[in-house]
Amino acid sequence: MAAPRLSDSPPRITAILPDARAARATVGNVSDKSPLLRSRWRGYHPAPMRGFITVGAALAGALIGIALGPSSARAEGPGAVALSRFEPTPAGDPLFGVPSPFIGGHLVPRGLALFDHAEDPLTLGGGGSPERAIVGSQSLLHVGGSLSLWDRLLVSASLPLALAQSGDGAAAAAGAGAPEAPSSPELGDLRLGVRVRLLGDDGDPFQIGTSASLHLPTGSSDAYVGEGAVRVTPQLLLGGRIARVVWSVAAGAVMRSSESPSTLAYGGGAGVLLWDERLQLGPEVYAETMLQGGSLSLTARERVEVERTTSAELLLGARLRPFRPLAGLVVGAAAGPGIGDAIGTPSFRAMGTVAWAPPAPPPAGAADAGANADPDMDGIPGARDACPYAHGPASADAKRNGCPVEDEDEDGVADQDDLCPRAAAGPGGGDPSRRGCPADQDGDGLPDALDACPAEKGDAAGGATRPGCPPAPRQPTDQDGDGLPDDADACPREKGPASGDARASGCPTRVRVQGEQIVLLEPVVFRVLKNDPAPIDPKSEAVLAEVRDVIEQHPEWVKIEVSAHTDGAGNARFNETLTTARAEAVRRWLVGKGIAAERLVAKGYGASQPISDDRSAAGREKNRRVQLLVLEKR
């Protein structure tokens, strides 16, 4: 069934239903029941070609044939659409989808396996309804191999296998009778290729080649992986290597023996070699442009009218040779978006590859011919150039001969010899032990030009006001504010008077802080009265006043125990009651003098914790005591 052409403006796509009685749907006039097939790009179609072009046809003749336009001869048949616009390059090429003139020696076999996943390569829309995916995703495995001959000819083959496809079955049923995406694996069209390098050798900055590939209809024409007819792609190839950059540009035509339109295919890309040339990173873009609009075979039975469009994809890829002993092993990955709405252009494509691609061996006689080669044109033959692709001066050191001299601070001293590669040497900077460093008279690490005290050794990070100067004399500190500087204060955290005894100067006279304890140098005396079992004798208020001062000077003490003890004379129960009352009396006195009540707890221990022999009068006197312990700090 021939598909009528659309001449209305703006551009439209018409979906032709397989039933001859069905109406056609256009973008400009879409009914609710007339679906519109779309993809990421709108496809195009030139008029039928006379037969298909064979692999052995010359590239110039093929391009002239395309330029002359479609012939009037009858094509083989309607054909179909292989949705994937990605064609992997043979193993050994620097880019994923843009071929190069690379050959790579004589009788060198190479091979690859590449997994390729595309999102939304074929969608359906119409009548203002949201787009639905006839083919929402497509995953292909490409298996290919190549053989280089005489360092001028490369023959190759590649076969795609659709591992998985998915889509909206309802969309397929409504989409001009388009078949649903198959769920089982499907074989694609076999590609056979031949490439000839016309100018240059592997590694040259500029090379020219030509190639032709033949696609045989081995794939299913109803599974979106085969076109159901032969197609031939002649191409002109440019490429090469400049220093650490590899590049490729390709242009040609995809000529179909079916009624589906032929296209102009082109692309370009580049990669930067890093990590001792084991890693390559770079972008590439490839595209197909219809030579004219027309009727496009979606399958062997269904056709759509399309206008002239361009389909393009952008990839950012990386290749890595992970193991130096296995230099032929190459792994890679790439991903990027589709550009436009043509049939077959995905919203996104990602891929990964594993290949065996040995580097090109040196041609016969290269040992003599290459000895005088000078790829970077620095006047040093490549055989003696430690950096053959980077321009540099001669050096007595074989490891640096011909390598560029890097001088980041531009002081005339190469970075590899510069002890200060980021600080330029100045007048007086000729000290051999400081080669390439600016002058520093005082040796404090700060150049004289930045040193506020160039003749006095100071702190290189001494502040913005006096960098490089000795520290200013430290002002004496007095933490407790008792008038004695800390370095002359035996108790820098507790107030006390000056004393001729350095061990007691600046300390309270009646108490000491020892670790977590406030030690009383004088006992707290209690009077025994009938109505008040634990009154504090007025003569003990002086020692308690110093206790209060010490507690106030230590706000980090959040919990302090006031404990009272007695000797073993008398009844144990009475002694415990007595000491509890005495501890509580001290606590009340301190709270009354300003210490927060929640910081103090009182505890009477009776005679349970003696510190001396209770059998002597002196021992019993020591056992009768008040202690203050720090229980908790913040």
pLDDT in tens, 462-515: 555 677 787 766 667 878 777 788 888 888 888 888 888 888 888 888 888 988
Co-location of 66 and 141 in the same domain:
yes
Question: ∠148-149-150 over CA atoms, to 5°?
Answer: 130
Residue 231 inside a domain? The answer is yes
Tell me 498's DSSP state: -
Same domain, 271 and 370: no
Q: Which of 342, 373, 403 is the last residue of a domain?
A: 403
CA separation for the pair 81, 226 (Å, rounded): 6
Whether 572 and 554 map to the same domain: the answer is yes
- Across 64-68, 254-258, 430-434, 608-612, least confident range: 64-68
Q: Does residue 397 share a domain with residue 311? A: no
- Tell me the average pLDDT across 550-573: 91
Q: Counting every residue, how long is the chain?
A: 634
pLDDT above 80 (res 374): no
Give 488 or 391, the one with higher predicted confidence. 488
| pLDDT score, position 604 | 93
399 is a domain residue: yes
Of 216, 190, 193, the closest CA to residue 52 belongs to 216
Same domain (yes/no): 81, 210:
yes
Question: Distance between CA 455 and CA 448 in Å, rounded?
Answer: 9
Q: Are residues 516 and 388 in the same domain?
A: no
461 pLDDT higher than 80: no
DSSP secondary-structure letter at 561? E
Domain that holds residue 370: 365-403
User: What's the CATH number where 553 sits?
Assistant: 3.30.1330.60
CA distance 307 to 290: 8
**Domain tally, the chain:** 3
Q: Does 534 reside within a domain?
A: yes
Residue 118 reports pLDDT greater than 70:
yes
- Does residue 319 have a pLDDT over 90? yes
The pLDDT of 405-430, averaged and rounded, is 68
- 398 with 335, same domain: the answer is no
- The domain boundary, picked from 325, 356, 387, lies at 356
For residues 315-334, average pLDDT: 91
In this structure, the answer to whether residues 391 and 250 fall within a common structural domain is no
Residue 319 lies in a domain: yes
Q: Of 356, 387, 413, at which residue does a domain stop? A: 356
Partners of 585 in beta bridges: none
* Strand partners of residue 293: none
State the average pLDDT for the chain: 79
Q: Is the pLDDT of residue 601 over 80?
A: yes
Q: What is the mean predicted confidence (pLDDT) over 550-577?
A: 91
Same domain, 58 and 169: yes
pLDDT band at 79 (very low <50, low <70, confident <90, very high): low
pLDDT of residue 24: 30
Residue 536 has pLDDT above 60, yes or no: yes
Mean pLDDT across 193-217? 95
Whether the predicted pLDDT of 424 surpasses 80: no
Degrees to nearest 5, angle at CA 165 with 353 and 127: 130
**Is position 412 within any domain?**
no
Whether 300 and 242 share a structural domain: yes
Interval 237-245 mean pLDDT: 95
For residue 129, the model assigns a pLDDT of 59
Note the pLDDT tens digit of each residue in 249-296. Answer: 999 999 988 877 889 999 999 999 998 888 999 999 999 998 877 677
User: Are 302 and 262 found together in one domain?
Assistant: yes
Distance of CA 89 to the CA centre of its chain: 28
Going by C-alpha positions, the residue among 230, 314, 321, 248 that lies closest to residue 280 is 321
User: What is the model's pLDDT at position 371?
Assistant: 54
- pLDDT number for residue 62: 45
pLDDT(25) > 80: no
Asked whether residue 261 falls in the same domain as residue 378, the answer is no
Asked whether residue 572 is assigned to any structural domain, the reply reads yes
Cβ neighbours for 268, distance < 8 A, ≥ 6 positions apart: 98, 247, 248, 249, 250, 284, 285
Phi-psi region of 619 (alpha: psi -120 to 50; beta: other; left: phi over 0): alpha
Q: How many CB atoms lie within 10 A of CB 485?
A: 14
562 band by pLDDT with thresholds 50, 70 and 90: very high
pLDDT band at 77 (very low <50, low <70, confident <90, very high): low
565 φ, ψ to 5°? Answer: -135, 155
| Cβ(565)–Cβ(624) below 8 Å | yes
Q: Residue type at 218?
A: T
Three-state SS at 583: helix
Structure tokens belonging to residue 629: 């312990």
Q: Does residue 549 fall inside a structural domain?
A: yes
CATH code for position 77? 2.40.160.40
- In-domain check, residue 86: yes
Q: What pTM was computed for the model?
A: 0.50
Confidence of residue 66 (pLDDT cuts 50, 70, 90): very low
Task: Please tell me the predicted confidence (pLDDT) of residue 470.
Answer: 78
Dist. CA 11–CA 302, nearest whole Å: 21
What is the distance between the alpha carbons of residues 459 and 468, in angstroms, rounded to a whole number?
5
Higher model confidence: residue 254 or residue 442?
A: 254
Does 26 or 121 have the greater pLDDT score? 121
Q: Is the pLDDT of residue 36 over 50?
A: no
Segment 593-615 shows an average pLDDT of: 92
